[in-house]
Amino acid sequence: MAGLDYSTAGESHGPGLLVLVRGIPAGLRIDEAFINGELARRQGGYGRGGRQNIEEDTAEFLSGVRMGRAIGSPIAMLIRNRDSRMDDAIKTPPLTRPRPGHADLAGSVKFLTADCRNVLERASARETAARVAAGALAKCLLREFGIEMFGFVRAIKGIATDVHVDATNWREHKVTRDASETYCPDVSVSATQKDAIRQAKIDKDSLGGIVEAHGFGVPIGIGSCMDWRDKLDARLAYAVMGIQAIKGVEIGMGFASAAVPGSMVHDPIRYDASQRDLQPSMGFTRPTNNAGGTEGGMTDGMPVVVRAAMKPIATLLRGMPSVDLATKEEQQSQYERSDVCAVPAASVVVENVAAFEIARVLRDKFAGDSLAEALGQMELYMKHARNLPLDGGQAKLA
């Protein structure tokens, strides 16, 4: 079976969004309610625009599933757009005044048109609904391997929480996050963030922020150091950076590691024999996780941590100085219905995009046409790994 991969199609105001996922092993139970729940989470969050009152995102399975389980063929999902009006010239007139910060100008020049409409239809963050569906499907696979994901909002407009998230407390933080309108697991910080978003709406402005995703239960050795294209941290950075409005990505300590000596960066290695058979770290423990769960492009047994910076939405109610592409005259940018703040939604997208990349390298390591075969490969690998040291290049089996 080919490696795990996906592709998307569809425009913001077209009939719908399509996502095609290849590499899901036969036998995997497809949790449609969970996938639709992730799509609903993406639609939520304080600061979203009127579009979310129109859409009710659900995934329709068109192929690859029979009686609730994957059959090994490509899985196609359709998310229909209720606000489908791309061919209505009255409802979607030409847009000739590009918005600074959006794909409008560069795309119009690239495709040699003064109408930004075609570009914005595909460049729109509406496309992330398809990526969330793919990531949620990947989470169904990760759960079979004991891996779970948790994403949240770390900051909005610099209003940040300093909550510490780890394998022992993330479920408690998840309850607080789910009760928060800004998806922040800190009640007081969430309230202040909400006030800032409200003020931005009054000011006809927009806000960005920082989102964070953690992957728990990932065993050591997933990913590779042999080819830069197979490094997990590289794949995470590439995938997360490809999300609309994301301008920065870091793994673990990230940029902060450049400001302190190595003794304050690298995570000491210890061994606890009592944890050998209980944890994905196989007994190897770390008092810190500055590396964010990856070393040399491979997982090190600690939680995988990826963080992303989202810039403010490019569409401002008050507009910004721009140029009319048809006349070259200076004018304010055109307004398209948009959000004031989509950072909460971005946390859901980053969590699911990261989940897919972890599932991708997991499948690279544990291939197989069926789920049972892949799980069997993981069990054999764990058996070898837990019985180090090596003898002639092979682990001693108990």
Q: In what order do the strands lie in the sheet with 16-22?
A: 5-9, 16-22, 75-80, 60-63
- 126: which DSSP letter? G
The model's confidence at residue 315, banded by pLDDT at 50, 70 and 90, is confident
Q: What is the pTM of this model?
A: 0.94
Decide yes or no: CATH 3.30.70.660 for domain 5-395.
Answer: no
What are 63-109's pLDDT values in tens digits? Answer: 999 999 999 999 999 999 987 777 776 777 889 999 999 999 999 99
Give the CB-side neighbour count of residue 38, counting CA atoms within 13 A: 31
Helices (H), 203-319: 232-241
Query: Left (φ > 0), alpha (ψ -120 to 50) or beta: where does 100 sit?
Result: beta
User: Tokens 């070259």 — which residue?
Assistant: 328
The model's confidence at residue 2, banded by pLDDT at 50, 70 and 90, is low
The model's confidence at residue 396, banded by pLDDT at 50, 70 and 90, is low
The dihedral over CA atoms of 383, 389, 391, 396, expressed in degrees to the nearest 10, equals -30
What are 198-254's pLDDT values in tens digits? Answer: 999 999 999 999 999 999 999 999 999 999 999 999 999 999 999 999 999 999 999
The model's confidence at residue 390, banded by pLDDT at 50, 70 and 90, is low
pLDDT for residue 20: 98
CA 381 to CA 385: how far, in whole Å?
6
pLDDT for residue 373: 97
- Which amino acid type is present at position 261? P
pLDDT for residue 394: 55
Are the C-beta atoms of residues 157 and 209 closer than 8 Å to each other?
A: yes
User: Tokens 């009152």 — which residue?
Assistant: 53
What is the residue extent of each domain of the chain?
5-395
